[in-house]
Chains A and B, each alone.
Chain A
Amino acid sequence: MFEPKIIAFYCKWCTSAGADLAGTSRQKYAPNIIGLRVMCSSRVDPEHILNAFKNGADGVLIGGCHIGDCHYQSGNIQTLKRIKLLKMLIKDIGINEKRLRLEWISAAEGKKFVKVVNEFTDEIRKIGKLNYKKI
């Protein structure tokens, strides 16, 4: 079975804490994902995401606080705008937009974190390997 490489960017305050909660609750999820902790999802530059695809990522997950709960008031709104636009752009260059996923996962949502990671891994598995060089 194809095992995709997935990279994730978690904000420190919500999604990374949600991932920690999944761990503390000993919930299990697909190991394909490796997370990178930033202060806020708004620190994730579209260039970082393109760079990830270029370097072999089959899927990229961005996790932030729910709208209205951002530790930095409106950072996640910037993220929302950027990811929406970037999804259109990657589609144009031939990357399935489903390879890029944005989720709001709070520090209390360990279960949601697990669900999202498993779902996303399965989805990317179905979509298959990203052959960036062909793009």
Chain B
Amino acid sequence: MKKIGVFVCHCGINIASMVDIPAVVVELKNYPGVAHIEDYKYMCSQPGQDLIKKRIKEKELDGVVIAACSPNLHEETFRKASKSAGINPYMCEIANIREQCSWVHTDKKIATQKAIKIIRSIIEKTKYDEELKPIEIPITKKALVIGGGIAGIQTALNIANSGFKVILVEKSPSIGGKMAQLSETFPTLDCSQCILTPKMVEVAQHKKIQLMTYSEVEDVSGFVGNFKVKIKKKASYVDFDKCTGCGICTEKCPSKTPSEFNEQLGKRKAIYTPFPQAVPNKPVIDKDNCIYFKTGKCKICEKVCPFDAIDFQQKEEIVTLEVGTITVATGYDLYEKANMEEYGGGKIKDVIDGLTFERMLSASGSTDGEIVRPSNGETPKEVVFIKCVGSRDPENHYPYCSKICCMYSAKHAMLYKHRVPDGQAYIFYMDVRTAGKGYEEFYQRVAEEDKVIYLRGKVSKLYSEDGKVVVNGVDTLSGENIEINADLVVLATAIRPSVGIEKLVNILKIQMDKNGFLTEAHPKLRPVESLSAGIFLAGCAQAPKDIPDTVTQASAAASMVSTIFSRKKLYHDPLTAGVDEDLCSGCNICVGVCPYDARELNSEKGVVEVNEGLCEGCGACSSACPSGAAQQNNFTDNQLNRMIRTILS
């Protein structure tokens, strides 16, 4: 029989004042299996730990039970101490007699009896604990980053600069994301493209980064350190090896369609690069709008291409890769105007969203930076900006704050005033939130120097009348009804996770919240990890955030990846559930309940096999197994039943 040492902590008076410790010691002294019992004022202190170590050696103990505070606090401490005294750390168990006993009861006699039962049940568990070793897992030192916006770019560059290989996957033809569409950025008014494009070029030229644009992740299997990823390379109908990006094909292409990059404000061709600074700067053919694909005739691009790079026969391709980590940086999309019935439902031409206004402001946009009314091209003299459109509206739309709208609406109003000094800008707001370095000062400038009129209230309705957009709202500070005949209305529509995130969430088996934002492992202490080991989060896919916050989180995600890659091997908690092949009937029930696909039926042998690297140790299979073949390490049926009996005795 195992020789178990029991160490009862007083925790000063935290335990000792409500649990009669001498009585506990007397009661448990002769309990079967207890070879030694001792109490001490502060077991977690260095003398306390030294005492445990000394007794382990002296009494040749095989297992240790520490009756003290919650295992969440000091399990690690005591396991380390036990290990240093030569016993397997998994032979050290904690009986929680503080948080779940002395602190919550008022009768010392009852609390003492309860403490004794708690300790006995843990002694029973320890008697049958097995020596476990952390499971060693090799690491593929290559990172996958999904999404080529600023979050993905920053993550990829940081990982690559740490010396590890990166695959950056982007679904559209160019990296750059939403940041590439912006004009100037708050609060410093840096030109967005001027600060972003050097980073895009760095990605393209980095020896450690393999860029896969126009590609999507189709399937992911495996686990931290050992993911297997299938990536679909969409057919671009252009041989990138031959193409030099000269642009003649785009110039000659006769098919025009609204430009996504310019938010439908201008046109692009059917063979196109989204914008002049695109990376890679090579065009793709948009099959839906290509005359050849629609009618079987045209092929002008093929005829004019000097390098014979057009390939109408090109097929989409599935590439399988092995990576060690995955960072999800899929960003956001704006909430569709069509959802906002009260604001015209997207049907009024002169009601646009923030990104469309950015394209109007941008020198590279279709208006060359000129602010115009989409309906007639005239300069708008009265412009209304409405914030919280679809955000902070739990009854009808999204409950959360989209975080960046206060600042970008202020910026929009300022830039409008700089370009149309005799125009008037109004901002309807619920609150002005300017938490960020230099943000409040920026807002003050907008309100005071640029004479933008801030109206505290919601716009109840807007409609089109006599070529104007009539905006009806209330100024809740003065109590007055406000009606503005606006030339242009800019809606700060809510930020939502990028369209299609649900599919990726299912592929990665990670979690999202009710609004579709990816769930972090801990909202405060693990904000860049998903709940699945080795999968990290960066940028607006996790929650709305501005560029500095996105870059910060992306750098943090990269650092998490580098932390994993800097190790030789990974170690996995061995509280996994195995298979007793003699007992397993191959019924497959456990396979169905495993949330991690860690169990698989070997049909040849007729038994289930476990991938220990995938098993996270929940024990769902152990309770599902009808034959008792799937026992979770150190949480076996035998142990749990003994604990139950001891508690109830």
Interface residues, chain A, with chain B CB atoms under 8 Å away = 5, 7, 16-17, 19-20, 22-24, 26-29, 31, 34-40, 42-48, 51-52, 55-57, 68, 71-75, 78, 82, 114
Our pick among B70, B96, B595, B622 for the contact of A74 (Cβ within 8 Å) is B595
With a CB–CB cut-off of 8 A, which chain B residues contact A24? 99, 103
Minimal beta-carbon separation of A119 from chain B (angstroms) = 15
Q: Are A7 and B648 in contact (CB under 8 A)?
A: yes
How close is B648's CB to chain A, nearest CB, in angstroms?
4
- Chain B residue nearest to A46 (CB atoms) is B623
Give complex CA distance A27, B595 in Å.
Answer: 35
CB distance from A133 to the nearest CB of B (A): 14
- The CA of A68 and the CA of B510, in the complex, are separated in Å by 11
- Having A20-B96, A48-B623, one finds 5 other A-B pairs with CB under 8 Å, namely A23-B100, A40-B618, A56-B649, A72-B595, A73-B596
Give the interface of B toward A (CB within 8 A): 70-72, 96, 98-100, 103-107, 110-111, 114, 117-118, 121, 509, 511, 531, 575, 593, 595-596, 616-620, 622-624, 632, 635, 637, 640-641, 643-645, 647-649
> Number of residue pairs across A and B with beta carbons under 8 Å?
124
Q: A28-B104, A36-B121, A72-B618 are in contact. Are A42 and B593 (CB under 8 A)?
A: yes
Closest A residue to B105 by beta carbon equals A31
Q: Are B647 and A38 in contact (CB under 8 A)?
A: no
Q: Are A23 and B103 in contact (CB under 8 A)?
A: yes
A46 and B637 CA atoms in complex are apart in Å by: 11
Closest 3 CB pairs of A and B: A43-B619, A23-B99, A72-B618
In the bound complex, how far is the Cα of B118 from the Cα of A71, in angstroms?
Answer: 25
Q: Across the interface, do B531 and A39 meet the contact criterion of CB distance under 8 Å?
A: no
Within 8 Å by CB of B511, from A43, A57, A73, lies A73
Contact flag A39-B632 (CB < 8 Å), given A7-B644, A71-B531: yes
Q: Given A47-B637, A73-B511 in contact, is the A42-B619 Cβ separation under 8 Å?
A: yes
Could you say which residues of chain B place their CB within 8 Å of the CB of A45? 622-623, 637, 640
From A20, A29, A42, A82, contact of B618 by CB (8 A): A42
Set of chain B residues within 8 Å of A57, measured between Cβ atoms? 644, 648
Q: Indicate if the CB atoms of B617 and A39 lie closer than 8 Å.
A: yes
CB-based nearest A residue for B106: A28
B103 and A55 form a contact (CB under 8 A) = no
Inter-chain contact B623/A42, CB cutoff 8 Å: yes
B contact residues around A78 at 8 Å (CB):
593, 620, 623-624
Contact call A26/B623, Cβ cutoff below 8 A: no
Residues of A contacting B619 with CB < 8 Å? 38-40, 42-43
**B98 CB contacts on chain A under 8 angstroms:** 23
| Assembled-state Cα–Cα distance A52/B118 (Å) | 15
Assess A55 versus B645: contact at CB under 8 Å? Given A34-B114, A39-B575, A75-B595.
Answer: yes
Query: If A43-B623, A52-B648 touch, does A22 touch B104 (CB 8 Å cutoff)?
Result: yes
The docked-state distance in angstroms from the alpha carbon of A16 to that of B71 is: 10
User: Which single member of A20, A36, A40 contacts B647 (CB below 8 Å)?
Assistant: A36
Given that A19-B99, A36-B647, A71-B531 are contacting pairs, would A43 and B104 also be in contact in the complex, using a CB cutoff of 8 Å?
Answer: no
B107: contacting residue among A31, A35, A72, A74, CB under 8 A: A31
Residues of B within 8 A of A71 (CB): 531, 618
Q: When the two chains form their complex, are residues A42 and B620 in contact, meaning their CB atoms are under 8 A apart?
A: yes
Q: A residues within 8 A CB of B121? A: 34, 36
Distance in Å: Cβ of A46 to nearest Cβ of chain B: 7
B355 → chain A closest CB, angstroms: 31
| CA gap between A78 and B617 in the complex, in Å | 15
* Cα(A54)–Cα(B647), bound, Å: 13
Q: How far is the CA of A89 from the CA of B286 in the complex (A)?
A: 60
Among candidates B595, B632, B637, B644, residue contacting A73 with C-beta atoms closer than 8 Å: B595
30 CB < 8 A contacts A-B: A5-B648, A20-B70, A23-B103, A24-B103, A26-B103, A27-B104, A28-B105, A31-B105, A31-B107, A31-B111, A34-B114, A34-B118, A36-B643, A37-B71, A37-B96, A38-B635, A38-B640, A39-B619, A40-B620, A48-B637, A48-B640, A48-B641, A48-B644, A51-B644, A55-B648, A56-B649, A57-B644, A72-B595, A75-B620, A114-B104
Q: Complex formed: what's the CA distance from A56 to B121 in Å?
A: 15
Partner of B640, one of A16, A36, A74: A36
B622 contacts across to A, CB distance below 8 A: 43, 45
Cross-chain contact A56 with B595 (CB below 8 angstroms) = no
**Neighbouring B residues of A73 by C-beta, 8 Å:** 509, 511, 531, 595-596
For B643, the closest partner residue in chain A by CB is: A36
Residue of A nearest to B617 (CB): A39
Pair A35/B511 contact, Cβ less than 8 Å: no
In whole Å, how far is B199's beta carbon from the nearest beta carbon of chain A?
35
B577 CB to nearest A CB, Å: 9
Q: Shortest Cβ distance from B342 into chain A, in angstroms? A: 31
Residue of B nearest to A5 (CB): B648
User: In the complex, how many angstroms separate the beta carbon of B114 from the nearest chain A beta carbon?
Assistant: 6
